[in-house]
Amino acid sequence: MSAVTILENGDIIALEHSRGVLRFHAMWLRDNAWDETTRATSNGQRLIALRDIPGDTRVSAAELSNAHTLRLTFEPEGKTIDFDTDWLLAHAYDRSDARVKGWVADTTELWDSGLRNHVPVADMTALQQDEATLRTWLGDIARLGFGKLVGGPIHDGALFDVVDLFGYVRETNYGRKFEVRTEVNPTNLAFTGLGLQAHTDNPYRDPVPTVQVLYCLESSAAGGENMVVDGFRAAHRLREENQRYFDLLSTYCARFDYAGEAGVRLRSRRPMIELSPDGELIGIRFNNRSMAAAVDVPFEDMKDWYAAYRRLGEIIDDTDMEVTFRLEPGEAFIVDNTRVLHARKAYSGTGTRWLQGCYADMDGLNSRLSALEAQHAAQGASAR
């Protein structure tokens, strides 16, 4: 940081640094002050509301008091506050790069079948005992939306140990956990475990459960492999192929419903490809079994909307997109259910397959990951 300039009568300041000039508004700076009358020193929460800051706030004096401190005086409060310039650089918003619809965070890594040789896997005991292993594994799940676990215990409810690593079970009408149990009987095709198209779970909920854990307890049947597909990669592929298809599926809402048991009627109205208001790709809902009649697509666009839906399904079904693996007893996988689709291949032969599943949420996982990373950074800093 080499220089600071006051612009527009103190409405704006400009910081010059090695990457160029970054502008900040006086109001933004004042609201983001970290002095002890603005923020509680104990928990960092803001002590004042915007109404406590004068609407005509401006900067009357600005100086770089050292390499890492910007000292600003705000009027009409007559208040002088120090800002950490590293914090300002990390939170700068003065950029001109236009974001295209469907953008994803820099920390998100899209993948296809090429991930099969690099699936993030960790051992249960190591995850429970070693924070570095847990931090790496959770980081992989946050980045890729998917991870595998091996070496877990084999008993009813063992999947809760997985959730305990990062968060809390999301209980639903299916209970705290649900059974995925198939007896394969080749004499009766009705009992054959049919394959399922890749899907996200429970799109009829709003909000959807954002994490699913599937844990294997028995696996003596041939087949029944699990498969995952990166829904964000599929959405990007659709956009690369046909922008209009992407726009149709991200603009118009689909409807999903579930009324499979007495006393339950779940319904949602969301697009298959969900974008935030500023275009970030934030969710995929794809589940043929619970799609309801689409009534929010204009008549003129319905034909193309169906063509787009079909094409997205073809991309999801493309083997170039899938990572397939087999879960053995004591093994589990975890998916970000807002992003990664999962499927089960058909069973064959004889034997049984018993999995248990449960839901949890990405906010808990991201929180645990951030806390571990902050702790690791602090340890690194104290060791230097």
Q: Which residues bind Fe ion (CB under 5 A)?
A: 201
As measured in angstroms, the least distance from the Cβ of 212 to Fe ion is: 7
Q: Provide the CA 181 distance to its chain's centre, in angstroms.
A: 29
What are the CA-CA distances from residue 31 to residues 24, 26, 305 (Å)? 12, 9, 44
As measured in angstroms, the least distance from the Cβ of 342 to Fe ion is: 6
Closest CB to Fe ion among 201 and 331?
A: 201
Q: What is the C-alpha separation between 345 and 326, in angstroms, rounded?
A: 10
As measured in angstroms, the least distance from the Cβ of 230 to Fe ion is: 16
Q: Please name the residues in contact with 32: beta carbons below 8 A apart, sequence gap of 6 or more.
A: 91
SS (H, E, C) the chain: CCEEEEEHHHCEEEEEECCEEEEEEHHHHHHCCCCCCCECCCCCCECCCHHHCCCCCEEEEEEEEECCEEEEEEECCCEEEEEEHHHHHHCCCCCCCCCCCCECCCCCCCCCHHHHHHCCEEEHHHHHHCHHHHHHHHHHHHHHCEEEEECCCCCCCCHHHHHHCCCCCECECCECCEEEEEEECCCCHHHCCCCEEEECCCCCCCCCCCEEEEEEEEECCEECCEEEEEHHHHHHHHHHHCHHHHHHHHHCCEEEEECCCCCCCEEEEECCEEECCCCEEEEECCCHHHECCCCCCCHHHHHHHHHHHHHHHHHHHCHHHEEEECCCCCCEEEEECCCEEEEECCEECCEEEEEEEEEECHHHHHHHHHHHHHHHHHHHHHHC
Closest CB to Fe ion among 10 and 145?
A: 145
Closest CB to Fe ion among 88 and 163?
A: 163
Closest CB to Fe ion among 201 and 322?
A: 201
User: Are 370 and 136 a contacting pair, CB within 8 Å?
Assistant: no
Closest CB to Fe ion among 99 and 326?
A: 326
Q: Provide the CA 6 distance to its chain's centre, in angstroms.
A: 39
Closest CB to Fe ion among 201 and 247?
A: 201
User: Are 258 and 264 a contacting pair, CB within 8 Å?
Assistant: yes
Nearest-CB residue for Fe ion: 201
Closest CB to Fe ion among 239 and 344?
A: 344
Q: What is the largest CA-CA distance in the chain?
A: 85
As measured in angstroms, the least distance from the Cβ of 281 to Fe ion is: 21
Closest CB to Fe ion among 81 and 323?
A: 323
As measured in angstroms, the least distance from the Cβ of 344 to Fe ion is: 8
Closest CB to Fe ion among 72 and 316?
A: 316
As measured in angstroms, the least distance from the Cβ of 339 to Fe ion is: 14
As measured in angstroms, the least distance from the Cβ of 285 to Fe ion is: 13
As measured in angstroms, the least distance from the Cβ of 201 to Fe ion is: 4
Closest CB to Fe ion among 140 and 201?
A: 201
